[in-house]
Structure 1
Amino acid sequence: MADTEQVRNAGRRLATDLRDLREARKIKPESIIKATRLTVDVFERFDESALVDHPAFNRVYIRSVVASYARVLGIDEDLACRGLDEALDGTYAGGIRRVYIEGLPVDEWSEPIDSDDAQLADALEATTETPGLFDKDESDSDVAHKPGIFALLGNRKLIPFILLIVVALAILIFINKSSSSDVEETEIGNSIIPVPGPPPEPKWILLGDSIRFDIIATTEKLDPIRVKVDSDSLRPYWIEHLDTLTFYVRRNVIFRRELDVADILMDGYLLPDTMIDSSGQIELSRESAQTWLDSLAVKEVARNRPLS
């Protein structure tokens, strides 16, 4: 388990990167507050620590906040949530900054070490001349007492073979990197036109036997919210400000009252306000819930598909 101080430091790095990206794209804090439905004081806490050390918020809720934040910034929600997961583990090292501020590819999110490049660097280093090998300061007598020098001079004949090995390594590295590319290239005349591969399949989200619903009193105390789970009757629930109440549903659920001051998460996904019907309630069956999750998967594919 990560050290508490490591988690705090990682949370501060994540919050700083999101704040710097927000300011670089000239997005007002009010836009983030509206999208995340955070109060001003909680947003200020998020701006400092990403709420990773806040006792009132769990991982599921913070993920929903980060996902909403990412939508306003126009960045990949999965990458933003990946940054949060790393922060909660105490390992976030600035991936969002590298990708979205410094403009590095996603592959360099955590700056992996390329073993092929390391081998090439070692080979190049092996071909460099030994320092002091041909120093003119040495007298002939000094050289005469160093038979190893003549042996090294004789080995200069091997330098072309070493250079040949280096070139072969460079070609292998180039071939490996080219074969891992997701884009095929077709040569037409003197130009190379990238040809995209097949579109990615949606990442379908399947509901389990029980569907988890988290009700969070984000703006103020819920006084009360009414909930009907499966065949149970409609019951009132009082939830203190920033507290969370969890239900597990098998077939259907109804939420009524106080929906404008609460966030409701279904298996970690924030239900939009558009689900509130004309009578002021949200009613979901297992089938309608699965249909909504399917629509999220399709929208995600469409959002990430490059324009032709």
Structure 2
Amino acid sequence: MRRLAHDLRRIREKQKRSLQEIHNETKIALELLQHFERTALYDHERYNPVYLRSFARTYASAIGIDPAAVLDAVELAFEGRYRNQLAVRFLGEEPLPEPEPETAPAEASTPEAAPERKPPQESETPLPLVTTPGGLERLERPARWKARVVGVIVVVMAAAGIWYLLRPAPAPPPEPLPVDTATVPAAATDTTPSVETPPVQVPVLGDTITATVIAAFDKVDPIRVRIDRDLRRPYWIEQGDSMQFRFTERIILENQLDDIQLRLDGHPYPTDRRDAEGRIVITREQLQAYLDSLARGVQ
């Protein structure tokens, strides 16, 4: 289903039709169109075969391709036999090879048991740091770090529990002494000078601003980014990973914006601030004004 959705999105982009235009023509919600281009609605709460066929027919007509061809591709996806038939027909790509059938293992020719083989040990490789055009940095992190973090937390909690059980009992509080009210002097007037509240520190942006895009909710496949006057480029981010982009005056983010979290120079930035085309456009002046409002407690 994801391959089918991926091919349909690329066909739409080749036809130079935006999701906003599809929304205006079909009155289908933008969020539902974005979800369809990620998973073909296979994991959506509205999913059922009848609804999906009707949705695919409407989508095909809106982007200007044969609805019958799209419905045939949907049937193949239901059966698990969709390779890239739509990309072959409408994008001119080569067909993907069919998977080879599994063959039954041959019977042993001799009754002697085969010698046991030790499983190969996986070699640990250092985490690669990849640098791409436009000031992009990406750190590949293996999933095993999560297990290590959980192990460290368990050890710390166990040590804290042992310390709590073995700690010495606290000494009883001292008994209060009787006070003769007749000899207690009157309380002196508090002459401590009041401390003035320091002024609010407003973050000041440097010459280069770092934008960190985190694939927090799903795989980003892909997001399109334009940095300053550079061309718009696609980037793919696995769920849980992040990418960094450095810009001086402006950055524009498009596609799958509901699946990401965004930080600018370490400060969280809301992803629902979008223009009429559904893009996130951030300039240096807009970001400085936003940080000023955060420093003063203005929403």
Provide the TM-score with structure 1 as the length reference.
Answer: 0.35
